[in-house]
Chain A
Amino acid sequence: MASPAPVQTLDLSARFPGVLSPDTRPGYSGWILDNSNLLKFATALRDELGYDYLSSVTAVDYLPEDKMEVVYHVYKTTGGAGVLFKIQIPRSDPMEVHSLVSIYPGAELQEREAWDLFGIKFTGHPDLRRILMWEGFSGHPMRKDWHEPYFEEEAKPLKSRWPDGKMIMAENKNRYGDNITYPDGFNPERQTFDPEKALYEALRTYQKDEVGLDTDHIIVNMGPQHPSTHGVFRIAVVLDGEKIVNLKPVMGYLHRNHEKIGERNTFIMNMPYTDRLDYLSSMSNNFGYALAVEKLMNVKPTERAEYIRVMMAEMTRIASHLMAIGALLNDLGAYFTPMLYALEERELLLDIFEAVSGSRMMCNYFRFGGVARDFPESALQKIKDIFFERLPRKIDEIDRFLSENEIIRSRGIGQGVLTAEDAIKYSAAGPLLRASGIPYDVRRAEPYSIYDRFEFDVVVRSNGDIYDRLMVRFDEIRQSIRIVQQAVKQLPEGPVMALKPMYQVRVPPGEAYGRVEGPKGELGFYIISNGKPTPWRYHVRAPSFINLTAFGPICIGQKVADVVAVLGSIDIVLGEVDR
């Protein structure tokens, strides 16, 4: 394509005269509107124009222009390009924007994140607390004038490493031996700290059932250290006997400051960091990031690189789904055996990743304009062997193993139901959305790369319960096997990089939102560049994080024993949830 196409093609300014103004900054697109018109505009967008799926809500700090901006991406579930609109507010406390939770409930967790990291208050939000940091933390970390304790320079590479790189470990430069600073005049002996108070107060606001005996409701913490494979995730549950009355997920135990570090890194340095987001499917993350930056740079990868990218992305999808199936069956009680069978197949796929990219999990394989290196003939032969001869029958074997099992069926069918309207409302994505009956797949809705050349079906199931989410994953593995078989047959010869390999990438100023269909859902990268070697804003639209908005409403009314099964069927990865 000659120039990046604008995100929306319909002329909204004619439909909403006087309310919207187009964003005319060079490289930018979308609409800017005022906070006072936000709720009316959003309601009209959803009800009259049919844009019912809120994909991403994020904030940007424009310190030099003394502005904060809140950016919204909205799509239609019938597919196609979306609408991008922004609210600009002056950068002085208090910063208030109307909350969209009443119109798009999927904005709940994302608005809490914008409050936590930027300090923007969303008026009308039902529960505005910090989400990734703890209550009582001083400051809003993603602001441009907030510096972390190990701060040396605004952008890497750091001058202290070369040519006079005397090695000093960073903690030896800090007086507390770790990256800690306190506000001036802080005396820990004169105060008590209770970061949990706000959580328990929020838990107590729920509909009390007035019928029957007046019983006590207990609060149970399914804490961060948990014998389940999903990682450090905490669930606070209010129980009436065994029935769940209210449920709040607590996250942030693995918040690794990906976005702040991303702003200090150059563009090429961010590629290995994206591996560590959804660490089970590293090449999908690389894919999304490479797409976003290639949109900004206006570069198209070579043909062979496109085929290799699709093959690697689909193989990562299979590896991730195998782990998800194993973990879900583990949670349902089949203690570790299905996990071992699934991991055996995954190990063979990881062998291929190791031969191609160098590492089993953190592949760091994609570059802007193609892939890092070509793969040897032995790896291609291995792919052919596994995908034409072994994997299809092994998947059928694991399917036969447990899908008709009476225990799995009675624990799965009809439990943990998410209806289709709720799935769209709560911005669910990926297998969670498709198991509830909405056939939305980014590879079909807004095709990227060369997915329009392959024949595959979008997998949909209608009930939206735990069993359907499990079966959707099996079917998606089969569709991915189909895609890889077609790609292997059509693989052309040629170079794998469109540009010369360079470590200082010149990215023109502008914004881009690159989204891919990851194994967990729609993974989006929103990148703003101002022409410098490092991005100005780097935001990850994490599917596992936003799928957790639906977690609370699914579980209310269920028994407490189903919480673990529902969490396993939503399939979260903490690296993505907490970034």
Chain B
Amino acid sequence: MESNELNSPDFEIPPELQAQVAITSLDKIYNWGRSASVWPLMFGLACCAIEMICAAASRFDIARFGMEIMRPSPRQSDLMIISGTVTKKMIPIIVRLYNQMPEPKYVLAMGACASGGGPFKEGYNVVSGVDKFIPVDVYVPGCPPTPQALLKGLMKIQEKIKGEPIKTARWYQKGPDMAEIPVPMLGPDLIDPRKIPLITNGEKN
């Protein structure tokens, strides 16, 4: 059709085009703003935390990525960097912190211990990877990963954020809110409330 027809203000835009065009450029701006100012939760567990601090120090500045504001409060942060071994005594607290973070929230498992238990996997107090309880977005292997490796992991998080369209964002969907992850309890061993039927079924056997 003629281009001057398209330019007139009362041209009928077909319905399937109405939502599309506006949102792709809106997506870009929205995701650019979010990815350039991710605020990590100041949460160092073990040795990987020291490399995280070195990444925040002057040599491998993460302020260049917009992430220098490390908030101690989960209510004000976007990204939880699990840096260090996750133990059974600590996992209820990690799950509670994850529940308290507002959407949109991301989790980066830094190091071998947070990704899959690490060298301490056979220990009786160690959880084999934090993704047994909370959903993880990026895994950074290494023991400990050098600050440059962590920065690569943070760039992958930024890549992921930039690829998320608003239409399918889970925090804008209609319907019930995303359910909280139930907090595990400390009994004779760690009890995950989602697995209680599995435990009681075993008891009946």
Contacts and interface: CB of A to CB of B under 8 A. Distances in A.
8 contacts: A136-B187, A148-B122, A170-B121, A193-B185, A232-B90, A253-B90, A254-B87, A360-B51
Given A231-B45, A231-B49, A182 B124 contact: no
A575 B50 CA distance: 12
Contact of B195 (A176, A260, A343, A575): A176
Given A136-B187, A252-B89, A276 B47 contact: yes
Interface of A: 132-134, 136-138, 141, 148-151, 169-171, 175-183, 185-189, 191, 193, 195, 223-227, 229, 231-232, 252-258, 260-261, 264, 272-273, 276, 279-280, 323, 339-340, 343-344, 347, 360-362, 574-575
Interface in B65-108: 72, 84-85, 87, 89-90, 93, 97
A343 B122 contact: no
Contacts of B144: 361-362
Contacts of A272: 119
Given A187-B200, A340-B58, A361-B144, A182 B132 contact: no
Contacts of A264: 122
Query: Which size class do B's interface residues fall under?
Result: 35 or more
B1 to A, nearest CB: 59
Interface string B161-187: 000000000000000000000000111
Interface string B98-132: 00000000000000000011011111111111001
Given A175-B202, A343-B54, A575-B47, A257 B120 contact: yes
B64 interface: no
Interface string B189-205: 11110011011101100
Given A189-B200, A225-B72, A343-B54, A256 B123 contact: yes
B130 to A, nearest CB: 11
A176 B199 CA distance: 8
B189 A257 contact: no
Interface class of chain A by DSSP: loop
Contact of A361 (B50, B117, B196, B200): B50
A148 B121 CA distance: 11
Contacts of A361: 47, 50-51, 144
B46 A254 contact: yes
Contacts of B122: 148, 150-151, 170, 179, 257, 261, 264
A261 B53 contact: no
B37 interface: no
Contact of A343 (B58, B132, B200): B58
Contacts of A178: 127-128, 132, 190, 192
A492 to B, nearest CB: 33
A323 B54 CA distance: 10
A232 B191 contact: no
Interface of B: 42-47, 49-51, 53-54, 57-59, 72, 84-85, 87, 89-90, 93, 97, 116-117, 119-129, 132, 143-144, 146, 185-192, 195-196, 198-200, 202-203
A361 B46 CA distance: 12
A261 B125 CA distance: 11
B42 A227 contact: yes
B188 A182 contact: yes
Nearest to B189: A180
B93 A280 contact: no
Contacts of A253: 87, 89-90, 93
Contact of A339 (B45, B57, B126, B132): B57
B143 A360 contact: no
B68 to A, nearest CB: 9
B132 A177 contact: yes
A276 B185 CA distance: 28
B124 A148 contact: yes
B42 A256 contact: no
A136 B203 contact: no
Given A170-B121, A261-B122, 6 more contacts: A133-B125, A148-B123, A151-B122, A193-B186, A253-B89, A360-B146
B128 A171 contact: yes
A273 B125 contact: no
A575 B144 CA distance: 14
A-B interface, 10 closest residue pairs, ranked by CB to CB distance from nearest: A257-B123, A227-B72, A138-B188, A279-B47, A148-B124, A343-B57, A256-B120, A253-B90, A193-B187, A150-B122
Nearest to A347: B59
Contacts of B51: 360-361
Contact of B198 (A176, A186, A224): A176
